[in-house]
Structure 1
Amino acid sequence: MSISKEKFDEIKSRYSTLLILEADPIEALNFVHDLLYAEADAIKENEPYATVSIKRLESAAYEVFALGHEVEDLI
């Protein structure tokens, strides 16, 4: 990963109470979304020429975000 351990820990700390309860799948998807965007941002900063990787990560983050809304509609 390109993000620092500190950034990973920061994102992880937002979800420290994650349990598998009714709304938790949405929280898990939010965690993945944040992690994907943080990785894309880290690559933008350190390797801005890696546009394919950046685009791939941002696209994945968007798909996870959209999936979260679909899951939310089911709950």
Structure 2
Amino acid sequence: MTSQRRSIDGIPSRCWCGKGIRKKEDHLFKWVDEAMFDELRRVDAQQALIEEEIDDLKKCLKKTEERVDVEKAILSHR
């Protein structure tokens, strides 16, 4: 048994069940559409957290570099 799944970029024009898109609440595609939006919101929130973590790491790295520079200056005067 072979599966003939195709990967299509963008928003599909047909439902996964094979029927055309209908803009009604009772059709499966509407649920998929809402699930996609929910997933995008989650990804957006996760990306914001990652950006915050990167900013924190950059600040920490800068402080560490400053400490290393101070230590180098102290050691070079000895």
Same fold (TM over 0.5): no
Structure number, greater radius of gyration: 2
* TM bin (shorter chain): 0.3 to 0.5
Higher helix content, 1 or 2: 1
Query: What is the TM-score normalised by the length of structure 2?
Result: 0.41
The higher-RCO structure (CA 8 Å, 6+ apart) is 1
